[in-house]
Structure 1
């Protein structure tokens, strides 16, 4: 006789996302566990609360993206801009595959501060990625404090860029989210042009694209 199969964190996440989409947030961990035929204490082996679980879900979108990128041998040869573009395209493909859940948790949540709290794990994972893969060629300013301030500013700017892209994607009604792809291409190009202090035509190009998207048509 075989013992009872132990539930995994991935399975709990899968069950939770399905439950949220079909019936809303469960009333309690006890009710959620009972409904899905596992013990309440098994939930707490992985998560302390539903909020912790939801934060981890958004973090997993980032870690899964990085796992997919690293499976591609060519990715390791990319320059920083190509790596960031690859991250964005892969990340938003994963979000699109789970759009109903993401949309419900972020777009339909009127409390923006609460939505940002759900992204705390994603923020940490993304900033670690940019520190490790993107901002590796920064000029040493020969001052540790200034270097740290510079690095922190770059990290915060990259995080804001991801948030703006996420917001654009949530509002994108174009077929196959084609406008989000354009947004990604133009915003990443503009950010690297600013970083390198090169001619900023792409910045104006990106600004024109945003203006066109936000200006009501007659």
Structure 2
């Protein structure tokens, strides 16, 4: 296990055992039997670890899906759905930790949308989705719309938070309801981003306007 992984896992274990984050680097290092100077080679404080944990969930998800040979053959819609399914699978192994920190923040009146620890994950996610959106624009899966296209990755982030919130509250066997929710939410998102009758009508009016004098 790499030092960063040891620190992240130690942080998770500490929260599960004490029901609160370690109050100091010393407390965490003592629990994982690591010298403080070794800790500071990887993190500046305990406050940044949780943010890195969420980012690591994302990075591991990407690693897993990109290792699948069929992934490169997927449509953009299929890639997004595959991401969500795999991401939830990644979160399952840390559900107790996620529920603990979620409940603690909720009791302090902090909404999921305002979790500062999600900031690094959000940036990496939006960068990834921006690439997929561009791929979708090239393939025609996603419609180019003035002023709106640039907001697609932000909309997908909001969608991601709704999936996370649903999964946190899901008590169905094997979280099967979350799987259904992912499919329905992702399909709705791509139906909205895809070309519709309104886009076709706009294209027709634009063409007619441009050629009205000919």
Q: TM class, shorter-chain normalised?
A: 0.7 to 0.9
Shift of 1:7: 6.6
Q: Which has the larger radius of gyration?
A: 2
Q: How many residues align?
A: 187
- Taking structure 2 as the reference length, what is the TM-score of the superposition? 0.80
User: Quick check: 1:190 aligned with 2:173?
Assistant: no
Q: Show the counterpart of 1:170.
A: 168
Structure 1 residue runs of 4+, over 4 Å off? none
Residues 1:195 and 1:174: Cα distance change in structure 2 (over 3 Å) = same
Report what 2:177 is aligned to: 179
Normalising by structure 1, report the TM-score.
Answer: 0.79
Q: CA deviation at 1:36?
A: 2.4
Indicate the residue corresponding to 2:52 in structure 1. Answer: 56
The alignment partner of 2:11 has SS state of: helix
Report the Cα distance in structure 1 between the residues aligned to 2:134 and 2:167, rounded to whole angstroms: 25
Which residue in the other structure is 1:130 paired with?
Answer: 129
- Gapped runs of 5+ residues in structure 2? 139-144, 198-214
In the alignment, structure 1 residue 36 sits paired with structure 2 residue 35 = no
Q: Is residue 92 of structure 2 the alignment partner of residue 93 of structure 1?
A: no
Distance 2:86 2:134 in 1: 19
Task: Note if contact 1:7-1:38 (Cα within 8 Å) is conserved in structure 2.
Answer: no
Match of 2:14 among 19, 22, 29: 19
| 1:17 and 1:101 in contact (8 A); partners too | yes
Q: Deviations over 1:14-71 (max 9, x none)?
A: 1111111011311211122123221112212111222211001001111000000111
User: Paired residue for 1:83?
Assistant: 79
Q: Which runs of 5+ in 1 are unaligned?
A: 1-5, 140-145, 200-218
TM-superposed CA distance for 1:105, in Å, is 1.4
In 1, the alpha carbon distance for the partners of 2:75 and 2:94 equals 29
CA root-mean-square deviation: 2.1
